[in-house]
Structure 1
């Protein structure tokens, strides 16, 4: 297989995996051998990274859409190196859950002072964690005929 480099927004796909490059100096790397990781989410197999990364505080919806495109590219381009024992997750279910999680986490932080130019936040982590936990219990799943 020849060496490739493909860019999807802030995400770069190469033979080593997917790397998000975010200004001013942050990188987030997903190794190529872990892109097929799955997790059980509410009794459904979903693509792990596509649920995990969107819950990061630095991610935006545009970054998530680009990440999804990078993963779909990788699933196809690198299918010859996909481990034989890999379980297949539902991409539709993954994207459906991901969309709901993005809605839940949308206003991750409430700014106390946008007009002053200061960027500080007031967070009650106990209440926020409880609120997110209770909202995540309401995640719906697609009914997919087998």
Structure 2
């Protein structure tokens, strides 16, 4: 059951990010939406943020659930597993997830809100935070894709190290 929740959460997370990039952002750039562009962007970002942190919680719980049901937390087995190539890949996946989580926190609670805050107050700061938010958004998508690929490979017993 943990695996199903893990996969469904990954589908929603990665799919949501890709949808944002290939649908929401091009639509927002449409000149017809000039007057509501910022509001639309802010509302969709806040909605996806709510969903994101629920998904992060599901990732953590289901990820540990998967490792537990496979017996990797049995007495002494965890250290042996994490010394294998597949175990090392899981460790890299966990480190990448932590990087994704921290990057998302910064994007969602610092650079993103400051972008909206400075929109009408300070164009220089607005541009700065807009670029930073875009950078962190791209990094988050890239990290998410790498994590998903590692998960797919690991589920097939394939280690890249």
Larger of the two Rg values belongs to structure: 2
* TM-score w.r.t. length of structure 2: 0.29
- The structure in which a higher percent of residues are strand is 1
- With the length of structure 1 as denominator, give the TM-score of the two structures: 0.31
Normalized per residue, the structure richer in helix is: 2
